[in-house]
Amino acid sequence: MTEQGGLTRRGILGVGAGAALTGAFTGVAGTYAARRAEAAPSPAEAADRYDPAAPVPFHGAHQAGITTPAQDRMHFVALDVTTDDRQQLISTLKAWTRAAERMTAGAEAAPGGVVGGGPYGVPQDTGEAYDLEASGLTITIGFGPSLFDDRFGLADRRPEGFEDLPAFRGDDLDAARCGGDIGIQACANDPQVAVHAIRNLVRIGFGTVSVRWSQLGFGRTSSTSTSQVTARNMFGFKDGTNNLKAEDPAALAEHVWVQPDDVPGKAAWMAGGSYLVARRIRMHIEVWDRTNLQEQEQVIGRTKGQGAPLGQRQEFDAVDLAKKGTDGQPAIPETAHIRLASHEHLKGIRLLRRGYNFTDGSDGVGHLDAGLFFIAFCRDAAKQFVPMQKALASKDALNEYIEHNGSAVFACPPGVRRGGYWGEPLFS
Amino acid sequence: MTEQGGLTRRGILGVGAGAALTGAFTGVAGTYAARRAEAAPSPAEAADRYDPAAPVPFHGAHQAGITTPAQDRMHFVALDVTTDDRQQLISTLKAWTRAAERMTAGAEAAPGGVVGGGPYGVPQDTGEAYDLEASGLTITIGFGPSLFDDRFGLADRRPEGFEDLPAFRGDDLDAARCGGDIGIQACANDPQVAVHAIRNLVRIGFGTVSVRWSQLGFGRTSSTSTSQVTARNMFGFKDGTNNLKAEDPAALAEHVWVQPDDVPGKAAWMAGGSYLVARRIRMHIEVWDRTNLQEQEQVIGRTKGQGAPLGQRQEFDAVDLAKKGTDGQPAIPETAHIRLASHEHLKGIRLLRRGYNFTDGSDGVGHLDAGLFFIAFCRDAAKQFVPMQKALASKDALNEYIEHNGSAVFACPPGVRRGGYWGEPLFS
């Protein structure tokens, strides 16, 4: 009464994903270049041929899930490592990598999938994504500052300046939503595929890691490609209009990817990686929803309908911080969110934002627990995110309506070569 | 710097949704018949022409969101009424109905949408679904037993037998996830559309209701139409294979829709309605994931791969409770979930299940807080759900792996006539 072997998610291993798994490997640089070339057509062409069910290549110079056009849904988990055994941690990273290669290609976490191993074996895939497509799944791993303590002999490999984020004015952090030895971001166009990926990695890591916190994001807020339309956050405003985009490799090299010179000596493993900053930002939407349109637009610095910078007409019109309104005051107020977060204001600082809207039930006092799970990738969190957040924390008009209650930072190593494993250079 | 008027979600009011809102109303029965006729083509044809972005008609003999083919995503909220003023409650129900008509058609919650009312007005739509399609949104309302106390003069209109569910063996209920004067289920193929709908109804209800609890469901588990493939729950098994289907009106009349004879006298308002049972079922997925395939299949009573009843080959093969295996034991064990839940075992009892998978972060002790938000519609909860759940609670092998921690029941009134409002017959 038990099916034996041979089952694959929609038989996809036999077709598209099979090619991805078994096709000739063109080398790290080649793979990355090929993905870059993919992005070369015009945004309209790219959008036309975008298939939300298709797989995203796993291997490359950089991890997928950073400049990959932001998928619609996300599941994020922060893990504590519960062993002190370095080899066990490495074995888990290897097993995770094999599973991630398979799942991102649209296959189960292990060969044989939900019934592999026979009736007396434990299924090596939990099965809830068995009939679903690859759905653009990407899985991106990062290591928290706490991993670089004495347990695993990694203390001298911590990149300079990589440490827990400092306290910011107004923070209301919940320790149960902060930190973690390891962070894993799964993004997909089907939430069940993202949840399945995290769950199976947690299952594989049983005995090595345990879940510290996790977060489901139901809708992307940020575009990371010119092929995507700008999405809206829970304040109803377009978010991430001026985000860095995958189609601008020079800007990514400057602001997102860790360069070899940034990480000399024993920290060199991080070259080609990026730092992921996560902040759980509760939005007091009920208060916001009773605020008039002018106040909302002055707080954000953009119009609500079009998303145009105040003083301009269209979403992508340039932000002009100097422009005055008819009343002689700055069109974009001094405390407006987009002014304080702008690279003009921050002496050139930019981040690649990749956040998600969340709704996690209610708070027990009659309000929805909703907001933005902010994710940003940057070349140096201490030099980019920290000064940006300090500027925002000091006088952003938005602070009246939000509350940062979760925080973490992870060092995401570079991409994985074929046959390698996540973080291999760190342990070599 | 503010757009004035005229904005609609993707201009949809000018096209498809405009027709839905302004088109000739063919009468309640006609609308329902038209929807039934829609379901007449073969499942394959229906699946081929299904458009997940299209609107679902709001008006009809029954509320939408019950036999509507289950959409992919859900947001559910339970509300407490915070006023004792009957007229205020009625006004809120009327305002909600107008907003629901608009939102299900793909428009904003009120004319003018995110910028209506001008710069000094509060936006009458929160905006986060401004650029999104109707996405098959349905909004379904129900009244909890607590609404029929002394506050609103409804005590004598409570249908006989409609009361809070009894305690079941093994229940581990969290009061903060139970009950509610009003329950609202929003289902859509885009989660942001479902969240937007609930949020805007809560906003409209400010001063009349407050949020008691809410639940996001990221993936449907149950098919409610023969045009849908069976989905999988968080145990990785196909769920709802033998569910009632929209294409079987005789079974729906027998098991789902309250018939006039069921609700004589002052309870007659409920004819054409249905009772919604909600149970938040935490699944201990980490324990399940360490269980071997045979145990999993014996617990459920189906194969994991195909979803065939044990002893059969294909998903839709008939469940044969009498069949013996080669060992002389029942192919479907005495404690198997599908045996205990089957209508053969329950003397003909059937429910229309319409549940959703959820993942709500972690539980603080290293596990994911995931499971099934069970929703079922039935003609009489006391005569259908209660005996079924008693049978399951007493000896379902699945109980080792699950925990019911939320519970509610709502009387969902019949559908709304054009110009009417949710629950109008109850207040007339």
Q: Which residues contact A374 (CB under 8 A, 6 or more apart)?
A: A277, A278, A279, A280, A281, A353, A355
A131 part of contact set with chain B, CB < 8 Å:
yes
Give domain status of residue A274, yes or no.
no
Give the model's pLDDT for residue B115: 80
Choose the closest CB to A126 out of B114, B127, B289: B289
Determine what percent of chain B is predicted with pLDDT higher than 90: 84
Q: What is the mean pLDDT of residues B311-337?
A: 95
Q: What is the mean pLDDT of residues B178-191?
A: 98
With b for 16 or more beta-carbon neighbours within 10 A and e for fewer, the A416-426 pattern comes to bbeeebbbbbb
Give domain status of residue A327, yes or no.
no
- For the record, the structure tokens of A422 come out as 């996540």
Give domain status of residue A227, yes or no.
yes
Contact residues on chain B for A360, CB-CB shorter than 8 A = 216, 360-361
How close A225 gets to chain B, by Cα (Å)? Answer: 18
- pLDDT tens digit sequence for B202-239: 999 999 999 999 999 999 999 999 999 999 999 999 99
Contact residues on chain B for A233, CB-CB shorter than 8 A = 128
Q: Does the pLDDT value for residue B188 go beyond 60?
A: yes
Which of A181, A139, A249 is CA-nearest to residue A426? A181
Give domain status of residue A62, yes or no.
yes
Contact residues on chain B for A191, CB-CB shorter than 8 A = 73, 191, 218-219
Instruction: Return residues 347-366 of B near A (CB < 8 Å).
Output: 357, 359-362, 364, 366
Round to whole Å and give the CA distance between B100 and B187: 12
Neighbouring C-beta atoms of residue A176, cutoff 10 Å: 13
Give the model's pLDDT for residue A116: 78
Contact residues on chain A for B331, CB-CB shorter than 8 A = 1
- The whole-model pTM stands at 0.91
Contact residues on chain A for B293, CB-CB shorter than 8 A = 2, 114-115, 117-123
Contact residues on chain A for B127, CB-CB shorter than 8 A = 232, 235-237, 304
How close B239 gets to chain A, by Cα (Å)? Answer: 10
Give the model's pLDDT for residue A136: 98
B122·A289 Cβ contact <8 A: yes
Q: Does the pLDDT value for residue B410 go beyond 70?
A: yes
Q: Does the pLDDT value for residue A8 go beyond 60?
A: no
CA distances from A90 to A205, A266, A414, A419, A421 (A): 11, 18, 16, 14, 9
A339 part of contact set with chain B, CB < 8 Å:
no
pLDDT band (50, 70, 90) for residue B47: low
- pLDDT tens digit sequence for A177-236: 999 999 999 999 999 999 999 999 999 999 999 999 999 999 999 999 999 999 999 999
The chain-wide mean pLDDT, for chain A, equals 90
Give domain status of residue A347, yes or no.
no
Determine what percent of chain B is predicted with pLDDT higher than 70: 89
Give the model's pLDDT for residue B29: 30
Q: Which residues pair with B336 in a beta bridge?
A: none
Contact residues on chain B for A129, CB-CB shorter than 8 A = 232
Which structural domain, as residue segments, surrounds residue B21? Answer: 1-428
A236·B130 Cβ contact <8 A: yes
How close A410 gets to chain B, by Cα (Å)? Answer: 19
Q: Does the pLDDT value for residue B31 go beyond 80?
A: no
Give domain status of residue A197, yes or no.
yes
B108 part of contact set with chain A, CB < 8 Å:
no
Give domain status of residue A232, yes or no.
yes
Query: Which candidate in A368, A369, A372, A405 is best for mutational testing of the B interface (most B CBs within 10 A)?
Result: A368
Residue B198 has φ and ψ, to the nearest 5°, of -65, -45
A131·B232 Cβ contact <8 A: yes
The string of DSSP codes covering B347-406 is TT---EE--EEEEEEE-SSS-EEEEEEEEEEES-TTTTHHHHHHHHHHH-GGGGGEEEEE
Contact residues on chain A for B234, CB-CB shorter than 8 A = 126, 128
CA distances from B106 to A72, B2, B16 (A): 19, 23, 9
Give the model's pLDDT for residue B143: 98
- pLDDT tens digit sequence for B75-116: 999 999 999 999 999 999 999 999 999 999 999 999 887 787
Neighbouring C-beta atoms of residue A167, cutoff 10 Å: 10
How close B222 gets to chain A, by Cα (Å)? Answer: 13
B326 part of contact set with chain A, CB < 8 Å:
no
A125 part of contact set with chain B, CB < 8 Å:
yes
Choose the closest CB to A305 out of B3, B192, B297: B3
Choose the closest CB to B218 out of A192, A206, A311: A192
pLDDT band (50, 70, 90) for residue A23: very low
| Number of independent structural domains in chain B | 1
Q: What is the mean pLDDT of residues A230-255?
A: 95
- For the record, the structure tokens of B368 come out as 């994911």
Contact residues on chain A for B370, CB-CB shorter than 8 A = 195, 199
- pLDDT tens digit sequence for A61-113: 999 999 999 999 999 999 999 999 999 999 999 999 999 999 999 999 998 87
Give the model's pLDDT for residue A364: 85
Contact A114, B305 (CB under 8 A): yes
Q: Which residues contact B17 (CB under 8 A, 6 or more apart)?
A: B55, B105, B106, B107, B134
Instruction: Return residues 198-217 of B near A (CB < 8 Å).
Output: 198-199, 202-203, 206, 210-216
Q: What is the ipTM of this complex?
A: 0.90
Give domain status of residue A424, yes or no.
no
Query: Which candidate in B218, B222, B294, B302 is best for mutational testing of the A interface (most A CBs within 10 A)?
Result: B218
Q: Indicate the DSSP class of residue B218.
A: -
Q: Does the pLDDT value for residue B34 go beyond 50?
A: no
Contact residues on chain A for B237, CB-CB shorter than 8 A = 127
Closest-approach residue (CA) in chain B for A127 = B236
